[in-house]
Amino acid sequence: MGEGSLMIIVTTLVIGFVIGIILNHFWPLFFKINNNNGSTTTIVIPKGTFGWPLLGETLSFLKPHPSNSIGTFLQQHCSRYGKVFKSHLFFSPTVVSCDQDLNYFILQNEDKLFQCSYPKPIHGILGKVSLLVAVGDTHKRLRNVSLSLISTIKSNPEFMNDVERTALKILQSWNSKKQVIFWEESRKFSFNVIVKQVLGLTPDDPQSATILQDFLAFMRGLISLPLYIPGTPYARAVQARSRISSTIKAIIEERRRRRKHGDGDSKRNDFLEILLCVDTLSEDEKVSFVLDSLLGGYETTSLLMAMVVFFVGQSQKALDQLKEEHHNIRSTKEKEELLNWEDYKKMDFTQKVINEALRYGNVVKFVHRKALKDVKFRDYVIPAGWKVLPVFSAVHLDPSVHANALQFNPWRWESDEQICKKLTPFGGGSRCCPGFEIAKVEVAFFLHHLVQNYRWDVEEGEQPIAYPYVEFKNGLTIRLHQNCT
């Protein structure tokens, strides 16, 4: 690098720093409304700081911390500025909300006052027609198809049978083991379930192994620094998505060929088979739809399952009550009889455990939105075009919302009062995750057999860490103890 180039960089940084300071101190002065009588009204925006030029406070905001805490950044900012404050995150002026009412207000006003607004590099990996980043009418159309597909699958007994058989196969593989890395086991379980339900593939199918290998590269890049340079995780993720798309297209073509020649399996009712009959989606949208389904069914479900095992492993009382509930359900069935939807609805305490793991563990910390217009809330205004980050974990761990918020307590959900405001692990409003019930079914069915066959101890020092994506520090190693029969 030449001296002249170095001087340009240094000068740019200095100018940027000065501009950052000026904006930080005088930003509210730029928001004035001219009234008809010639006077002006200053718009009051939330207090806060913009931090460094360009990057703002992004690095501090993303600093890793236990997922059952809000982290140092939010602690300090909420203490200094309140539960709603301004910042500069992801290259944009931002309002961060740790407030229960504002979060609910944001989620309920999708496409009216606020709109989904993920950073552009995310679009580069997920694709332009992904349900996760689509907005407006496109999102509504894709979501309607998703809800229809999920409703069809959820009501299908074969789906539940597949989930339970997969759980039994995983647990049977533990027979001679004293300990397992549960994070790996939960991912294996969720991938085997979702690849069967979406594409009709078994774990032994060569295409399953190919998709899984590419999918792992895809996941690593999705949460990496967005630099498209050959060899970087981001570049590998974009390439992996392309390969997965090609594999999915090949499976689609093979299905169509079999249909055309009359040698297709008329009993197939996986996502893909139903999707092929949907005329409202383009070819690219169908491929993207499959990828979204794999992403949601793999990562979220496996993480939720790991959270439940982590917290229950430290609560003998919760484990005992789970064991009693599932023993009572099993006692009404024949020895080899599989679970059904009616059994799932009887798993009342299991639902409370899942809810509490979602609250305390925080699978999703926040979502990205932007203000479509100046939005007045209480005594301040969120300016049009600003990014808005409703932080779910802050509400989940707020002691003014949840008594003894930093304790794992499934019994807090005995009352369902305002649960839609107090618990938003899957988002809310029109962008609430459409497959959340399927994830809960998978976790509940796995727990059904786990708690009846095993007790377990969590390795000391283990904890879930938010990066902000969540991973377990040591892979969640658990020591197994078989229950006496």
Hey, what are 386's tokens?
């600003």
Give the distance from CA 176 to its chain's centroid. Answer: 34
Between vectors from CA 138 to CA 119 and to CA 370, what angle results, nearest 5°?
Answer: 35
DSSP string, 447-463: HHHHHHHEEEEEPTT--
Peptide bond into 157 cis (omega under 30): no
Strands (E) in 240-297, as ranges, are none
Task: Please state, in angstroms and rounded to a whole number, the distance separating the CA atoms of residues 443 and 106.
Answer: 29
Q: Cα(first)–Cα(last) distance of the chain, in Å?
A: 72
CA distance 95 to 192: 40
Which residues have CB under 8 Å from 290's CB, separation 6+? 198, 199, 248, 271, 272, 275
DSSP structural state of residue 410:
G
CA dist 362 and 187 (Å) reads 18
Q: Contact 309/353 with Cβ under 8 angstroms?
A: no
Question: Pairing relation of β-strands 369-371 and 114-116?
Answer: antiparallel
Residues forming beta bridges with residue 66, ordered by sequence position: 465
Q: Which residues contact 99 (CB under 8 A, 6 or more apart)?
A: 83, 84, 395
Backbone angles phi, psi at 377, to 5 degrees: -140, 120
CA distances from 207 to 170, 257, 390 (A): 20, 18, 39
CA-to-CA separations, 389 to 31, 260, 344, 350, in angstroms, rounded: 21, 49, 34, 31
Closest by CA position to 306, among listed 462, 178, 412, 169: 462
Query: CA-CA distance, 132 to 122, in Å (whole number)?
Result: 10
State yes or no: 78 annotated in a binding site: no
- Binding-site positions read 433
- Binding-site positions for heme read 433
